[in-house]
Amino acid sequence: MAKRRKFTPEFKAELVFEVLSGDSSQAEVCRRHNLNENQLSQWKHQLLENAPSLFASTDKQSSDAEKRIAHLEQLVGRMAVALDIEKKLLTELD
C-alpha cells in the first residue's frame, strides 16, 4: 500500500499563492508537484475561506490581552494598597 504524502502548511500556501498570483496555472502546478487538481482546489478554498479570520483574530487577541493587562494592573494596585496598610498596622503595633 502506498504511503500518503504529508504537506506542510507553508508548502500548501506557496502553491496556492503561485496559482492565485497568476505565475502558473493550476494544472501546471499540479503536474509539477504530482498533485490532483481537486486537492489544490481544496487548499485554495481553505485559504480564501479563512483569510478574513487572519485579520480579525489579531484584533481580538490584542483587545483580550489589553483587558487582561488592565485587570492584572488593578490587582497589583489593590495588593500594593493592602500591603501598605499591613505595614502601617505592624509599625503601630510595634
- The count of domains in the chain is 1
List, for residues 57-88, the tens digit of each pLDDT value: 666 667 888 899 999 999 999 999 999 999 99
Query: Which three-class secondary structure state does DSSP give residue 2?
Result: coil
Boundaries of domain holding 36 = 9-93
pLDDT at residue 31 greater than cutoff 90: yes
DSSP letter for each residue of 5-65: P---HHHHHHHHHHHHHTSS-HHHHHHHHT--HHHHHHHHHHHHHHHHHHHHHHHHHHHHH
Kindly state whether residue 2 falls inside one of the protein's structural domains: no
What is the dihedral angle through the alpha carbons of 22, 25, 31, 34, rounded to the nearest 10 degrees?
60
* pLDDT surpasses 70 at 2: yes
- Each residue's pLDDT tens digit, 38-56: 999 999 999 999 888 877 7
In a domain, 4, yes or no: no
Any domain includes 40: yes
For residue 3, is it within any domain?
Answer: no
pTM over 0.75: no
pLDDT of residue 57: 60
User: Residue 93: pLDDT band by 50, 70, 90 thresholds?
Assistant: confident
